[in-house]
Structure 1
Amino acid sequence: MADHSANEVVSGQVWEQFCDELKAAGQQILRAEAPNDAFNRAEGWRYLTRLTRIGLDMFMECSDREFPTFYRPSHETAKIGADNPDNIYLRAEINGMHDYRISGSRGTVAYLGFIAIAGGYEEADSNMRSVASLDTHSGLEVNDDGTVEVILSRHPQPGNWLKITEDTVAILARETFLDRNTEVFADLKIERLATGGVKPAPLQAEQLAANLRNTAAFVKGTATLFADWAQGFKAQPNTLPAADQAYCQKLGGDPNIFYYHGYFNLADDEALLIEVDEIPVCDNWNFQLNNYWMESLEYRYVQIHINKHTAQYRKDGGVSIVVAAQDPACVNWLDTTGHREGTMAFRWIGAAEHPQPQCRVVKTHELSQLLQAS
């Protein structure tokens, strides 16, 4: 195997195969049911470049499980699967046979959680299953000086312990803000315990070949998975049905979150009115707009999502959210940023009850009267 990989590297075949696999992933952008206008196609091709960047971080730059480091697997300019605009995501690749320590400042983010993961989107079943979780909702302990330490191991440890298994391949951290403008993120690092003086190994041809294969498989697998999701959502436009929660957990979903996914499709003179009449006790809730490829829209500069903290509530305690292309001069308006269609997501975070959001399409000129009536 080593000699074969060396020959592939020397001949350039490994690079040709990598490029061919990336080219094949483009078929997901050209699927018959996907929007075929220039705007959505352009976002689709950009999406593949973003997935490639993430894959290279995951499998090429940050893949040394002896010397793990946190990187951001989804962020402002590289997005996957309805990435939450209220989150900072951190991921580190590990080997379930070793023990690790996460340490750093807790920060002031509303929610901090860790999930041990086995599998990934690059595998045939795209199964990024959760092994175990630990978070502020379920008792993550913080030191008096505001620092936090978590031990990752197969055997129980005192204090904050996150169970891992032999097939655990990564740790995913979620830091959830109520208000990014005022809260301080958790500044974390990860290290393997008892390294025995081992130093990072030089890059080998066999490893390079495997890294490129895994990167290409990740791009294709991720693009396929969420194109399949969007196709399913498109069949029930302008609704927010509850997702299959068990399936969400298999794909790395947070066990404290109850998910809804949907698809908006609006004419220029239409708006989607989303109403939740009862807000249960919860750590947070949020709603967001995504493009067809399930990338959150541009939340750095445009209001495309809303949460428990940023929403303005009705007198009866409920909330009404308006999705429209043009500003309807009302509170809780989310801008579709030029998208007539796309995907959307609603989350209850740390809630014992999960009221169903109600959706209806209305004419934009009717909004003022409808909102006054509520």
Structure 2
Amino acid sequence: MTQTAHGIEFTHHFSANPKFAPEREAILENPGFGNYFTDHTAIVDYSAETNSRGVWHSPRIEAYGAIPLDPAAAVLHYGQEIFEGLKAYRHEDGSIWTFRPDANAARLNKSARRLALPELPVEYFIGAIRELVSADREWVPAGDGEALYLRPFMIATEAFLGVRAACQASFRVIASPVGNYFGGELKPVTIWISQEYARAGRGGTGAAKCGGNYAASLIAQQEATANGCKQVLFLDQFNDNAIEELGGMNVFFVMKDGSLVTPALTGTILGGVTRMSVIQVAKDMGREVSERKITLDEWRDGVAAGEIAEVFACGTAAVVTPIGVLKGANELIGSENAKAGETTMAIRQQLLGVQTGVLEDTHGWLTRLV
């Protein structure tokens, strides 16, 4: 069968073996984060001749399963791969919505340009999400802090070993029911300072959302875990140890006067959709927001002097998470007994309120899926 989404006809090949309600409901009782996946996936393929513009084609919904790839596929050898992350929320009336998908679509295409992958028309991006969520609507949880995490991604599928941009690609969306990213009750997390490893370099792919950046961060994340920390913070060691970002989140500082500071986007930091939304929410609250260089010394001295009142991280997965302690081999900033700050929680509650339909969406950020 076929259905039309945003003017695009998606063919549906529904799973012959979907999970029955009792198994699905058992998963939704304690989904964790990224541990389970829904019954289907959305797919759109791309084909082009060498050095010519190609076409996106064959939009479809298929059963979730393994991806058939030639061993010579470009993604396996040259890392031509990008991805996104957003969530679908079940509102009180049973309808299902997502948050700022147009911004995610725009960032996917920014990443595509940097990784020499084809840009995807927005109607395919939102259409694929809508069709997948419609097919797997029973997988969208309704519990506090829960959502259906959506992972759109694009991979280069052409089989060849020459070093050039691939002429064939596949865009796909998979989905996973999720709870709190860090698990359990929300409380300030401890962050590890990476002083040996860098996530990205100038002129590199730091502003793109691609797997290589995350692969580069994993050894530092292992170091963080070994030292009892939830996440890792990366610095620009060639720029006065300027704060960059965490392994998967942006950082904000709440100053004593109530204003906010976040590192400016310099090309090595990923511009988060949640980051962009936090800035707007803070401005709506009448707070000044500065995007500028902020160093490790300023963080340390600011906390000691009381100039920095709160620190938090933000991203799609964790939304807004308070940071209690910044820890390093010879560093300890903050307090292990810290509580989530009032400003941090106010911004978190405002964002979640809009996303879940509890608060008015004054900026038109929500898109109904089902």
Same structural fold, with TM-score higher than 0.5 when normalized by the shorter chain: no
State the TM-score bracket (shorter-chain normalisation): under 0.3
Larger radius of gyration: 1
Higher strand share: 2
Given the two structures, how large is their TM-score scaled by the length of structure 1?
0.24
